[in-house]
Structure 1
């Protein structure tokens, strides 16, 4: 399993952002195999973590036309900067 970690410095969030974020979450889980998605904001920082079964699933998601448009809007309007990390999950446990 893989995780995509998205970290951003927020410029502004608005109703369009909220609708777009909800749509991206729905699209990722319903059409691209995203297993889980969590996000939170604190002050001017956002972090989102999504879990995927394979790198191929992540690659297909990255190429989705709606996702590409949302990324462009993020760069132009919602975020000062962001970082994306793709990591392989080696172990998972809970209590």
Structure 2
């Protein structure tokens, strides 16, 4: 896929690192859902300065994931970009939200992976009224097709 977006900040679909929230303190490894706060790690800041992609930090499993795979229409790219930024800002305030990774191709295919502390937090995000309104607009004009997959992460390996 052409162009990594390390977080959902979709202005123009240009590769760009956006600081993510990490509600769990690495030292405590406290699995209690907390409200996210914007935090930029040294790794993220360094990657953003070099225009390099980064992979979201998540706590040790278990946690939940929503994988949203889309094929965009050419309709209203500015409206879609604005709604995407608004949703990214809104989800960061969702209790239980952990992080997000996304990629977009020049062919219109996109994959957004959102991480949540538990199934309840994930369901609450799906039921958020503003999110529901944007979902409706997506079905009406922005997406040719999409698929949502949900799962529980039991294992997480990283390199290096």
TM-score interval (norm. to shorter): over 0.9
Structure with the largest fraction of helix: 1
Structure 1 residue runs of 4 or more that deviate by more than 6 Å after TM superposition: none
How many residues get paired?
Answer: 95
Q: Write the distance in 1 (CA, Å) between the matches of 2:144 and 2:95.
A: 27
In the alignment, structure 2 segments of 5+ residues that lack a partner are 1-62
CA root-mean-square deviation: 1.1
Pairing partner for 2:77 from 4, 14, 18: 14
1:40 deviates by: 1.6
SS at the partner of 1:60?
Answer: helix
Structure with the largest fraction of strand: 1
SS at the partner of 2:124?
Answer: helix
TM-score by length of 1: 0.93
Name the structure 2 match of 1:3.
65
Name the structure 2 match of 1:23.
86
TM-score by length of 2: 0.57
In the alignment, structure 1 segments of 5+ residues that lack a partner are none
Cα deviation code 1:7-35 (max 9, x no counterpart): 01111251111111111111111133311
2:136 paired with 1:72: yes
